[in-house]
Structure 1
Amino acid sequence: MNLLRLSIRQNFASIGIETNRARLDIESPPGDLEIQSSPSVMKANTDKEKLTIDSSRAWMALGKGYHMEWLRLISSQMNQELLLNVSRIVEEGNQLAKFAKQGSSIADMVVKRTQEKSSIQCTGDASCANVDVQYTPAKVELEWSPQKIDMTYTPQQPRTSYVDGKVDIYIKNKNSLTMWVSNYDTYA
């Protein structure tokens, strides 16, 4: 038996999309910076420092001091030396007055006089503190003029370029519907 058969074929549509991205180019040149500065100025006013060294007592201790100081040193001891000599003369007079003593009193006195040392001190006292040092530091006055700085900045505008993006949409495959009738033999 011959029957008719209906066949249907369907194709789906497909869409194609192509895109080109947009592009933004930015170029930013550096700005111009100008700096002008004047040097700072410092003025210093100073007094002279003063160093005073007095070594006269050290020279006197060595026996090489100034003549007037040496005379003062000797003359200050004369009063004591006078009293010492007077007491010595009295002692020698008392010794000469004793005739009963055996031996030569005059010879003993001469020997004693030749061997005695002077009690007058011709030099000053030796000491590590004989040198006087006095230092007066200098006075410093500072005047300061600060530095002046002038800065000028000129910015540069950025350069931009923009390219639009594209989107192309198209039908890649069209949709279709195909129908046909064919004979259909069930016993074949």
Structure 2
Amino acid sequence: MRVPQIRLESTSARISMNSTPATMEISQPKADLSIEQPKAEMNIERTPSQLTIDQTKAWEDMDLKHISKRIEEAADQGHQDWLAGLARRSQEGEDLMRIEDGGNPIPQHAQQNSEPPIYDFNIGWIPSHDSVKINYTPGKVDIQWKRNDPIIQAKTNKPTLNVERGKVDIEMEQRASLKIDFDNLYYRGIKYEQKI
């Protein structure tokens, strides 16, 4: 006796997936930078030193005098000699006026007027002490300066982004199926197949 049979045969579904990864490119342009440094301003004012040396007195002590000085001294000496002569003649007149008082003024006057004067002499070519006048004024230096700040100009540039999206391709590679096979007395050899 044959027992009825049902045979089931199934096939699973299969899918295929192909993916393309996303890509991203980032580019950062350099910033634009401009730096300018103005020069410092400097002003220098200088007063030069001054040295004066006056050696007129030293030359005069060595009898190396200017002509104007010699004329001045000669005029002064002439005035002094004139006054001395006037005083001498006045004194001689007084002596002669009192001749009755005794004495012999005429020979005395002749002797005084005939004798040369006695001059005091010293070394004449050595200048006297402190005869050279020296005057010195030191110089001055005035420095003024001004520092100028640098001029900086900066401009930032935004980054450049290039993005490519990824994708996934899904396909049905094999569909699911169910195969049923009946084997009994009444339905002998009937097959039934259903794809899902």
TM-score, reference length from structure 1 = 0.41
Which protein has the larger Cα radius of gyration, Structure 1 or Structure 2?
2
TM-score, reference length from structure 2 = 0.40
Which structure exhibits the higher relative contact order, with contacts defined as CA atoms closer than 8 Å and separated by 6 or more residues?
Answer: 1
